[in-house]
Amino acid sequence: MFPLRFSRLARLLCLFGPALLAAGAATAAPVAATVENATTTTACAEEDNVSLVLRGEGIRRMRIEALQPAYLDSISKDITAPDFSGCNFDGGAHPTDPAHKFKPRRVVLLDDAQWRIVGMTLPSFWRPQQVPVRVGARTDRGFHLLQVFRKEEGKVLEALVLYPADGYWRIKPLPEERFGDGVYGSSFLLGPVEQGSRPVVDIASIRIVPKPLAIHLRFAKGGSAVARVSEISRKRTALDVRLSSPTADARPFAVLRSMYVAADNADVSEVRWRESPEAAEQALPLPEVKTLSGTQMRFGRSLPSRHNTSAPDIAFSDFDDTVPR
């Protein structure tokens, strides 16, 4: 009986196999996203004036990475001090922001052999939202930032920060040893973006699963996302993202937020992209970018900056419209 069944299966594969393979290849074809440059001009190196808005139709999965800048090996000094010389504030709250008051606290939500996850409530924050957060079996709320630290060779190094109240993320690779703990640069939003005085994503709840590390988001406007931490290394920090609902071109699914004053004073000064996986890489200085389309894009710097010199580039790639499993 087994040989007969196998024979029938073999005949079916011969008849329909090529069509099935072709259908599968079509389903797995890469999807392009568009980027719109909504950057404004500023002289302040501590103000997020860069907004690169990502849209796309039907996207269900993507990868987001923090990558070391291409020039990293050529620099010996990391310039990380804030520069308020061109600003109308001096390190306190931005003058246009509301100031909601809170009781400060710091809570270690997880501390195991590989990870430390910390929740922090600041004395003042610009939004009043208090998002429920669950880490493993522990539930809490009201944190303004969640910090994820990777433990390596006796060191505890921060690699990811998520701001529950406004939906901002910051990620970075593990730093080169000569640069201490390293620095963040650009941030990004992920999910249904709302545009107010600045873009935000309203998160209804957050659940963090430690093994393997994954951050589950439920959005206030509906839908959800899972960001699986697939790599934290000296080369990159990578998130593999799955969305519960396909994106719609009318609404941004992500925004890259950053700072640009000049080519040598910026957290992002250029965009590199490929229109398809086989296409040649293209590059433009940030001020020349209007709208572009690509299956992968990298927002970063080729020229060393005198602001957050070692801060990483941020890349989006592997856009896919297949239904997540």
Would you say 78 and 179 are in contact if contact means Cβ atoms under 8 Å apart? Answer: yes
Asked which of 175-179, 250-254, 260-264 is least confident by mean pLDDT, the reply is 175-179
Task: Locate the domains of the chain by residue range.
Answer: 31-88+180-320
Mean pLDDT across the stretch 290-304?
A: 97
Share of the chain above pLDDT 70, in %: 89
DSSP string, 244-257: SS---TTS-SEEEE
> Stretch 52-63: mean pLDDT, rounded?
97
Residue 12 is classified by DSSP as H
DSSP 141-189: E--SEEEEEEEETTEEEEEEEEETTTTEEEE-PPPPGGGTT-----EEE
**Confidence check: pLDDT of 75 > 60:** yes
| pLDDT tens-digit series, residues 13-29 | 455 555 544 444 445 56
| pLDDT: which is higher, 279 or 79 | 279
* pTM as predicted: 0.89
Q: How many residues are there in the chain?
A: 325
Note the pLDDT tens digit of each residue in 24-56. 444 556 899 999 999 999 999 999 999 999 999
